[in-house]
Amino acid sequence: MADFRLNHEGTGMLFTERLILRKFMISDTYDMYNNWAADKEVAKYTLWKVNESISETRSILEDWCMRYDSSQYYHWAIVFKENKQVIGSISISGINNCLKSCNVGYTLGRGYWNLGIATEVLKAVINFMVNTVGIQKIYAYHDIQNPASGRVMQKCGMEFIKRKKKIFLSGSRPFIDCDYYCFSTK
Ligand SMILES: CC(C)(COP(=O)(O)OP(=O)(O)OC[C@H]1O[C@@H](n2cnc3c(N)ncnc32)[C@H](O)[C@@H]1OP(=O)(O)O)[C@@H](O)C(=O)NCCC(=O)NCCS
């Protein structure tokens, strides 16, 4: 009988032309704080809140690093090969093993925007989740005031599903309008 289960491998290393995707380490605290976590502009349209101190960033990283024991935890640090800095993150959430679906979210430091980097990263992660793990649908959404993120989704072959009005996401900007996208293998 055929085996229809997903082939979970956890956060392994992925390589693209300009980037290395790998597990976060506690020693990434400085890069994460300086490149994106303390930047209000980067956090403007994200679920996470801007970090107030480097110790806050460190404790977030401690939490993330503990989760790598699970083979169903996918959360990559994005390393820019040129300068070896950690410049952002990309993660998978909401895995549904029966429907073979999940969500994806990403963040990049402001100094690295509009260079095609998020597109390069998302393509690599979609490829891994589909061809190695066996995921069939990958969902993502973005605040409609953040069209650059939607453009990344489009460039990665995700298709627009619908606009959802005034959904509740977080305490700081509770009700926002979002566009939903999906990458589907069928
Ligand atoms: C959204 C984000 C990930 C994009 O990363 P990036 O590496 O700059 O993305 P890319 O360079 O691959 O592609 C960006 C695209 O958006 C376009 N774009 C940029 N600003 C735009 C704007 N204000 N309106 C419309 N399109 C815009 C770019 O022109 C480019 O499209 P093109 O290649 O067709 O010209 C990055 O800005 C980011 O991390 N922002 C903060 C966190 C965030 O918003 N995360 C996503 C939450 S849903």
Structural domain including 39 reads 14-184
Let me know if residue 8 belongs to a domain.
no
Q: How do residues 157-170 score in pLDDT, each as one tens digit?
A: 999 999 998 887 66
Per-residue pLDDT, 140 = 97
Q: How do residues 73-82 score in pLDDT, each as one tens digit?
A: 999 999 999 9
> Residue 150 Cα, ligand 1 centroid: separation in angstroms?
7
Per-residue pLDDT, 3 = 55
Mean pLDDT for back-to-back runs of 10 residues, the chain (186 residues):
80 98 98 98 92 98 98 98 98 97 98 98 98 98 95 98 84 82 95
> Residue 138 Cα, ligand 1 centroid: separation in angstroms?
19
Residue of 149, 160, 176 to test ligand 1 pocket, by largest number of atoms within 8 Å of CB: 149
pTM of the shown model: 0.96
Structural tokens at position 144:
């409609």
Let me know if residue 47 belongs to a domain.
yes
Check which CATH number belongs to the domain holding 143 and give it: 3.40.630.30
Per-residue pLDDT, 172 = 65
Instruction: Show the ligand 1 pocket: residues with CB < 6 angstroms.
Output: 42, 45-46, 106-108, 113-119, 142, 146-149, 151-152
Let me know if residue 4 belongs to a domain.
no
| Residue 154 burial (C-beta neighbours within 10 Å; 0-12, 13-18, 19+) | middle
Q: Whose CA is nearest to atom 43 of ligand 1?
A: 107
Residue of 36, 41, 151 to test ligand 1 pocket, by largest number of atoms within 8 Å of CB: 151
Per-residue pLDDT, 116 = 98
> Residue 39 Cα, ligand 1 centroid: separation in angstroms?
16
Let me know if residue 3 belongs to a domain.
no
Per-residue pLDDT, 1 = 47
The structural domain count of the chain equals 1
Let me know if residue 1 belongs to a domain.
no
> Residue 173 Cα, ligand 1 centroid: separation in angstroms?
20
Let me know if residue 2 belongs to a domain.
no
Per-residue pLDDT, 85 = 98
